[in-house]
C-alpha cells in the first residue's frame, strides 16, 4: 500500500514583480522563480534538491514552508491544503515545519543567549513550563553534540560548526515533521560537513524527521539523500533515487553537474577533463521559450527551442524532462549541436 506524501506541491508557482524603471513603459516584468512545480516528499524521506545558484531552489524551499508567496498551485501538507492558511492558523501550523538556514553566523541573534534562542520556539508553539523548557533545551543541546552548559553563552563564543548545530537544535526542538535545510553545509569546512551530515542522519532516525535538503554539491548529497531532484531555472528537470541519478542520469544538465563534481580519487581528479556548461543561466524574468536549458545544452534540437518537454518516466521513480531522452528519441542522445543555439 502506497502512503500519501507528507508534503506535496501541485503545479506550484512563485512569482516576484520587479520594479519598473522611471522611464519604462508597459507592465513591470515578472520573475518566475518557480514555475508549475510538482514535487512530493514521503514521510521519513530525505529529498535533495540540487542545481546552480539562482535556479530557484531556496525559493521553492521557502514556499514549501509558506515563507515565500505562492502565486499559483497548491501546497498539501499531511493531506491538508495549506496554500491559503494565514494569521493564527498558519502560526499554529508552523510548529510542524521548520527551516535551517545557510549561514550559521547570521541566522542566530547575536544578542540572545543560546538558551533563549532554543527556548523561543517552545514558548511560541507550546504551553510548557519554564522547568520543562530548561530540560528540553539541555536535552536538545546534548542531541546535537553540545554541552548543555553552553546554553548560557552567546553565539560569538562558538565556531561555525557549533553555531550550525545550535541552528539545527532550534529547528528540531519543537519536534517538527518536516525540515527544509537550505545549503546548511556551504559555510563549513569539509571535515565539519561530514559531521553535520552524520548529525542530520542521526536526528532523522531519532525524531522521525523528513528533510528537503537544498544543495549545489551533488557529490555531498548522494550518500545522504534517498532521492535527488535536479532544478534548472525554476523548473524540475530530473528526479530519481540517488543511485538512479548517479548511475544513469537522463538530462544533459544533470550529466553536466555530475561531471563537475570532484572525484574522491586524486588520480582520477588530476587527469580528468571537466566539460563546462557554456553561457550563463538566463534571466528568470525573461526565460527562453521551449526547453529552458536549450540555450546551454550541447545536444539541443530544433524542437527544444519551441516545445517545453514534459516529464518522462524511466521506471520506478526516475523521471526527466528532455526531448532527447524521451522514448523513441534515444537515437538523438548525441546529435551534433546546432550552431545557432550556442553562445
Is 200 a member of any domain?
Answer: yes
The residue with cell 536535552 is 139
Average pLDDT estimate for 39-58: 94
CATH classification at residue 297: 3.40.50.300
Would you place residue 341 in the very low, low, confident or very high pLDDT band (cuts 50, 70, 90)?
Answer: very low
Q: What contacts 147, CB < 8 A, 6 or more positions away?
A: 141
- Give the pLDDT score at 339: 40
How do the residues of the chain divide into helix, strand and coil, expressed in percent and rounded to 5? 35, 20, 45
Is 256 a member of any domain?
Answer: yes
Whether residue 208 is predicted with pLDDT greater than 80 in this model: the reply is: yes
Mean pLDDT lowest among 52-56, 226-230, 305-309 = 52-56
Angstrom distance (rounded) from CA 240 to CA 238: 7
Would you place residue 334 in the very low, low, confident or very high pLDDT band (cuts 50, 70, 90)?
Answer: very low
Would you place residue 259 in the very low, low, confident or very high pLDDT band (cuts 50, 70, 90)?
Answer: confident
Angstrom distance (rounded) from CA 173 to CA 261: 34
Upper half-sphere CA count for residue 255 (Cβ side, 13 Å): 16
Taking CA 187 as the corner, what is the angle to CA 112 and CA 16, rounded to the nearest 5 degrees?
85
Angstrom distance (rounded) from CA 175 to CA 208: 9
Angstrom distance (rounded) from CA 15 to CA 132: 42
* Percent of all residues in the chain with a pLDDT value above 90, rounded to a whole number: 68
Q: Which domain holds residue 235?
A: 7-18+28-341
Is 268 a member of any domain?
Answer: yes
Specify whether the CB–CB gap between 230 and 216 falls below 8 A: no
- Give the pLDDT score at 264: 57
- Give the pLDDT score at 332: 45
- Give the pLDDT score at 177: 97
Is 138 a member of any domain?
Answer: yes
Mean pLDDT lowest among 101-105, 243-247, 334-338 = 334-338
The residue with cell 528540531 is 172
Average pLDDT estimate for 15-19: 84
Kindly report the backbone phi and psi dihedral angles of residue 199, in degrees, each rounded to the nearest multiple of 5, phi listed first.
Answer: -65, -45
Whether residue 333 is predicted with pLDDT greater than 50 in this model: the reply is: no
Whether residue 329 is predicted with pLDDT greater than 60 in this model: the reply is: no
Average pLDDT estimate for 137-158: 97
Is 2 a member of any domain?
Answer: no
Average pLDDT estimate for 62-88: 95
- Give the pLDDT score at 265: 54
Is 23 a member of any domain?
Answer: no
pTM above 0.85, yes or no: yes
Angstrom distance (rounded) from CA 280 to CA 307: 21
The cell for 163 is 553555531
Number of domains in the chain: 1
- Give the pLDDT score at 217: 81
Is 162 a member of any domain?
Answer: yes
Indicate the burial class of 292 (C-beta count within 10 angstroms; 0-12, 13-18, 19 or more). buried
Would you place residue 337 in the very low, low, confident or very high pLDDT band (cuts 50, 70, 90)?
Answer: very low
Would you place residue 279 in the very low, low, confident or very high pLDDT band (cuts 50, 70, 90)?
Answer: confident
Would you place residue 128 in the very low, low, confident or very high pLDDT band (cuts 50, 70, 90)?
Answer: very high
Is 1 a member of any domain?
Answer: no
- Give the pLDDT score at 271: 55
Amino acid at each position: 500500500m502506497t502512503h500519501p506524501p507528507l508534503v506535496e506541491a501541485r503545479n506550484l508557482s512563485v512569482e516576484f514583480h520587479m520594479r519598473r524603471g522611471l522611464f519604462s513603459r508597459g507592465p513591470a516584468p515578472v520573475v518566475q522563480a518557480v514555475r508549475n512545480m510538482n514535487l512530493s516528499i514521503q514521510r521519513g524521506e530525505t529529498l535533495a534538491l540540487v542545481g546552480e545558484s539562482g535556479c530557484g531552489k531556496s525559493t521553492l524551499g521557502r514556499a514549501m514552508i509558506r515563507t515565500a508567496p505562492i502565486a499559483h498551485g497548491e501546497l498539501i501538507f499531511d493531506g491538508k491544503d495549506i496554500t491559503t492558511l494565514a494569521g493564527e492558523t498558519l502560526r499554529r501550523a508552523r510548529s510542524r515545519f521548520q527551516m535551517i538556514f545557510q549561514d550559521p553566523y547570521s541566522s542566530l541573534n547575536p544578542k540572545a543567549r543560546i538558551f533563549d534562542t532554543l527556548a523561543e520556539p517552545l514558548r511560541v508553539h507550546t504551553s510548557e513550563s519554564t522547568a520543562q523548557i530548561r530540560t528540553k533545551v539541555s536535552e536538545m543541546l546534548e542531541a546535537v553534540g553540545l554541552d548543555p552548559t553552553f546554553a548560557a553563552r552567546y553565539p560569538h563564543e562558538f565556531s561555525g560548526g557549533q553555531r550550525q548545530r545550535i541552528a539545527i537544535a532550534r529547528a528540531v526542538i519543537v519536534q517538527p515533521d518536516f525540515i527544509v535545510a537550505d545549503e546548511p553545509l556551504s559555510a563549513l569546512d569539509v571535515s565539519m560537513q561530514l559531521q553535520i551530515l552524520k548529525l542530520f542522519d542521526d536526528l532523522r532516525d531519532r525524531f522521525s524527521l523528513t528533510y528537503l535538503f537544498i544543495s549545489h554539491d551533488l557529490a555531498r548529497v548522494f550518500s545522504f539523500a534517498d532521492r535527488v531532484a535536479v532544478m534548472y531555472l525554476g523548473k524540475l528537470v530530473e528526479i530519481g533515487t540517488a543511485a538512479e541519478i548517479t548511475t544513469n542520469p537522463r538530462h544533459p544538465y544533470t550529466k553536466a553537474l555530475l561531471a563537475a563534481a570532484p572525484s574522491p580519487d586524486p588520480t582520477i581528479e588530476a587527469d580528468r577533463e571537466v566539460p563546462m556548461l557554456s553561457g550563463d543561466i538566463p534571466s528568470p524574468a525573461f526565460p527562453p521559450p521551449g526547453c529552458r536549458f536549450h540555450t546551454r545544452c550541447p545536444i539541443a534540437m530544433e524542437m527544444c527551442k519551441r516545445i517545453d518537454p514534459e516529464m518522462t518516466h524511466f521506471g520506478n521513480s526516475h523521471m526527466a524532462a528532455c526531448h532527447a531522452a524521451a522514448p523513441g528519441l534515444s537515437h538523438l542522445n548525441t546529435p551534433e549541436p546546432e550552431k545557432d543555439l550556442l553562445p
